[in-house]
Every structure is written in structure tokens, then in C-alpha cells.
Chain A
Amino acid sequence: MNEAAERDNRSIFGFWVYLMTDCVLFASLFATFAVLRNSIFGGPSGSQLFNMHYVLAETLALLTSSFTCGLMFLAVRARDKKRVLMWLAVTFLLGLTFLSLELSEFARLVHDGDSWRRSGFLSGFFTLVGTHGLHISVGLLWMSVMAAQTLRRGLTNNNVRKLTMLSLFWHFLDIIWIFIFTIVYLLGAARL
């Protein structure tokens, strides 16, 4: 392996370490949410608030975007610029769908007076799901930057390295969502 590839592998490993520490951040938010889950302070509980069809649509959009992100990564490995750009665009649109669904859910809750100020449960909910949404927004921003970079400079070694990290980041966010979907929404809807 030549020196440049060695260096790229090292920085991808560094990014992996960042993702693992981000998992710890999410774990602390999950723990906060789990502790505050029943502290609804006379307000609405999860089963009264969540629209499950909506949440399923969000989940499917994000899961499919994780898959198309994998297809983008395969295209990167095949050094096929056209396919990279196409799958990047598809992933971006699906991610944007997810984010807009989530934001409209937040807007509905706040409009109905069920914001983070309503109860401990809702504070935990907005912090956990909002932090995930913030990561998604950063991912979307990163995707648009990478699309512009790939268009201008092509699949240079630098861009290949960054696209690899981007795909790791995006898969990681979908993995976090598995737990949000299960713990926050499914267990919440089942009135446990």
C-alpha cells in the first residue's frame, strides 16, 4: 500500500473514532429520555402525540436513503463519477424528505402547545430527536458540498476519502434512528 492510501485509511479510522464518540453522546440522550419517559406532568404521553403512519414514512425514507448511500459508495469504488452524482442526489432528496417530515411533526407539536417546555418527557423527546435531526441537516449540507466538489474536481483521492467518510456518517445516522424508532416511537405508541 502506498503512502497516500495509508494516510487516507488513517483519517477514515479517525472519523470512525469520532462516530463512536458520537454514539456515546446519543447514549446519554437516550438515557435522559428513558429516565424522563413517564414524567409527563399531566401533559400528553407519546401514544397520544405520535402519528405512527407518519413515523413509518420517515423511517422508510431514511432507511432507503441509507441504501442509496451504499450504492453511491459502490460507485465511488468503481470510480464512476456519473453514478456517484446520481446516487448522491437520490440520497440527498430522501434525506430531505425525512428532515421535512420530522420538522413538520415538530411544528405540529409546538403549534398544539406540546413543545419542549410542556413536560420532562417532551424535553427529552425534543433533545434526542432534535439532535439526530441536526446531524441529518449537517449530513445534507455535507452532501451538497461533496456534489459540488465532485462536479468540479472529479473523483480525486481527496474526494474519494471524503465521500467514504460521508457514507459512514450517513449509515451511522440510520443506525441511531433504529433505536429512536424502537424506543421513542414504538414503545411510546404501545403505551408502556
Chain B
Amino acid sequence: MNEGKSINLRSYVFGFAASLALTFGAYALAVRHSLTRRWLIAALAVLALTQFMVQLVAFLHLGRETRPRWKLLVFGFMVGVVVILVLGSLWIMYNLNYHMSLQQQYQYLNNQGDGI
């Protein structure tokens, strides 16, 4: 788990400069409204994920440890849980909205009230 000599000033300066560039890029894209909705979401997602990986490697030194790579293993498991949690929630709630119109929801709530 000892990362050794790969941690140096250069890696931090690179991480900082790249993060600054990615932040300003994403900010400019979002504020100027120059892209269509779908492209904007895609571009912002790519920029955020790139910055995520830059900071993981440059600041948290992920993947720089010697074998066995326990940190990387726990990290991978976390990513799996997070993806299932977030995408699963969005999928379920989208389906719920899709299958139940607003009127149906009101009817359902009214019927519930009658039962009491």
C-alpha cells in the first residue's frame, strides 16, 4: 500500500491545472447555452467524469499502490454499488411516472381516502 516515489509536485500541479481547465470548460458550456439539451448533458458528463479520474489519480493516487491493490478493489466495489443505486432509482422512478399519469395518481389517492 506504500505508493512510493510516484507522488511528487508534478502530479499535483498537473491535477490542479487539468481540473481548472475542465471546470472552466464545463462552466462555459452550461452558461452559454450553445449546445442542444442532449449534447450538453453528454458533454457535461464527459467533462465531470474526466475530472473525476484526473483527481483520483493525481490527488488520491489511485492505482499507484503496489500489489495487492486493496484500495482499488474497494473502490471498484463502491463504483458498482453507486451505479446500481443511482441508475436503479432513476429507472424505477421514471417507470413509475411513465405508467401512472397525474390523473391516475389523483384517483388512486382519492380511493385510498375512501377506504379509511
Contact = CB atoms under 8 A, between A and B. Distances in A.
Given A34-B90, A63-B20, A192-B37, A171 B55 contact: yes
A5 B1 CA distance: 11
Give chain B's interface residue range (CB within 8 Å of chain A).
Answer: 35 or more
Interface in B3-18: 7-9, 12, 15-16
Nearest to A191: B33
Given A9-B1, A20-B77, A66-B59, A52 B85 contact: no
A16 B20 CA distance: 25
29 contacts: A9-B1, A12-B1, A13-B70, A16-B71, A21-B78, A23-B82, A24-B85, A27-B85, A31-B85, A31-B86, A34-B86, A34-B90, A52-B31, A60-B20, A63-B16, A63-B19, A70-B12, A71-B12, A73-B7, A74-B9, A171-B60, A175-B56, A178-B51, A179-B52, A181-B23, A182-B48, A186-B27, A189-B31, A190-B40
B59 A70 contact: yes
A163 to B, nearest CB: 14
A77 interface: yes
A13 B1 contact: yes
A186 B86 contact: no
A67 interface: yes
B12 A179 contact: no
Nearest to B81: A24
B15 A67 contact: yes
B75 A178 contact: no
Give chain A's interface residue range (CB within 8 Å of chain B).
Answer: 35 or more
B111 interface: no
Interface string B20-52: 100100110111010001001100110110011
Contacts of B8: 74
Interface in A17-43: 17, 20-21, 23-24, 27-28, 30-32, 34-35
Nearest to B84: A27
B105 interface: no
A97 interface: no
Given A52-B27, A175-B55, A23 B86 contact: no
B70 A27 contact: no
Nearest to B85: A27
A192 B23 contact: no
B75 A172 contact: no
Interface in A83-131: none
The 6 closest A-B pairs by CB, nearest first: A31-B89, A186-B30, A20-B78, A70-B12, A27-B82, A67-B16
A30 B75 CA distance: 18
B74 interface: yes
Given A168-B60, A186-B27, 7 more contacts: A16-B71, A20-B77, A52-B31, A74-B9, A175-B59, A175-B60, A190-B30
